[in-house]
C-alpha cells in the first residue's frame, strides 16, 4: 500500500522534524543535549514498512476505537525495509514459532513476546528466521489513529519511523 504522501515522505533524504515530533515527542528545550540527540535520531531514522504479526481482534472492528495490543516487526535494512513480500514471509516464520517448542533461548524470548509481551518491549528476531537480516519485533499498542483506514489493512502492513527505541507508527493523517 502506498499513497502519494508516503511516496513523498520516502523520497526525502531526511524526515521532516514536524512529522517526527508528532510521532516521537520533542524533549524540553531546557535540556539541550537531549534535544540534540532527539534531532539527530529524527534526522537519521528511516521510514519503514511495519508488519502486524498479531493483534487484538478488536482492531478489526471499525466501531471499537480503543488502542489494542499488537506485535509488529520491521527492519531498517535499506534493501528490505519497504519490501512487503519479504516482510510477509518473515512474519509467517515468526508466527510459526508461537506453537513450537525449542531449547533455543532466542526462540523462547520470541515465543514469550508473542504470548503476551509487555508494551514497548523490543527484541531482535533470531537471524535464522530472517535470512541473516537484522529485524526487530516489538510489543505495542495500536490505536485507530495509527491505522490507514478503520481497521488493520488486509495485508497487515503499516508505515512507521524506525527509531533506536523501536518503531513509531505513522498517524492516520500522514497516510493521506
Residue with cell 497516510: 175
Distances from the Cα of 87 to the Cα of 37, 72, 77, 100, 157, angstroms:
30, 10, 11, 21, 9
| Nearest CA among 13, 41, 44 for reference residue 25 | 41
pLDDT band, very low/low/confident/very high, at 56 (cuts 50, 70, 90):
confident
> Which of 14-18, 95-99, 107-111, 137-141 has the lowest average pLDDT?
14-18
- pLDDT tens for 59-78 read 777 777 788 888 999 999 98
Predicted pLDDT at 13: 45
Share of the chain above pLDDT 70, in %: 77
Confidence of residue 97 (pLDDT cuts 50, 70, 90): confident
Amino acid at each position: 500500500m502506498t499513497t502519494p504522501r508516503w511516496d513523498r515522505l520516502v523520497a526525502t533524504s531526511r524526515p521532516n522534524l514536524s512529522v517526527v515530533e508528532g510521532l516521537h515527542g520533542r524533549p524540553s528545550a531546557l535540556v539541550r543535549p537531549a534535544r540534540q540527540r532527539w534531532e539527530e535520531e529524527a534526522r537519521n531514522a528511516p521510514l519503514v514498512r511495519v508488519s502486524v504479526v498479531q493483534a487484538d481482534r478488536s482492531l478489526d472492528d471499525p466501531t471499537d476505537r480503543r488502542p489494542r495490543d499488537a506485535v509488529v516487526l520491521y527492519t531498517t535494512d535499506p534493501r528490505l525495509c519497504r519490501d512487503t513480500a519479504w516482510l510477509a514471509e518473515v512474519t509467517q516464520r515468526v508466527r510459526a514459532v508461537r506453537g513450537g517448542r525449542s531449547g533455543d533461548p532466542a526462540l523462547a524470548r520470541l515465543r514469550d513476546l508473542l504470548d503476551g509481551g509487555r508494551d514497548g518491549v523490543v527484541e531482535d528476531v533470531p537471524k535464522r528466521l530472517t535470512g541473516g537480516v537484522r529485524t526487530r519485533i516489538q510489543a505495542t499498542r495500536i490505536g485507530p489513529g495509527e491505522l490507514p483506514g478503520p481497521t488493520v489493512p488486509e495485508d497487515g502492513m503499516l508505515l512507521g519511523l524506525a527509531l533506536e527505541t523501536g518503531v513509531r507508527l505513522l498517524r492516520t493523517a500522514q497516510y493521506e
